[in-house]
Amino acid sequence: MACRITELVLDVHDPELERLLAAGARPVDIGQTGDESWHVLADPEGNEFCLPRRRVAPV
């Protein structure tokens, strides 16, 4: 099995994402490109889930 090390960049200005990370969620890399409209996270037990990214209104 190959091991892959990646760096995930998260929008930590999203209050819900900050709350989940503080509660023990962790980012999970399932092959995202970074262009997705969601974050992939895992809870402390390892259950994966998606969180929609915060949308910013156009200027």
Q: Please report, to the nearest 10 degrees, the dihedral formed by the alpha carbons of residues 4, 49, 45, 33 taken in order.
A: 10
pLDDT at 16 over 80: yes
pLDDT at 54 over 90: no
**pLDDT value of residue 35:** 86
The whole-number average pLDDT for the span 37-59 is 86
pTM across the whole model: 0.68
The whole-number average pLDDT for the span 37-53 is 94
Local confidence band at 12 (pLDDT 50, 70, 90 cut-offs): low
pLDDT at 7 over 60: no
Q: Please report, to the nearest 10 degrees, the dihedral formed by the alpha carbons of residues 31, 29, 13, 57 taken in order.
A: 20
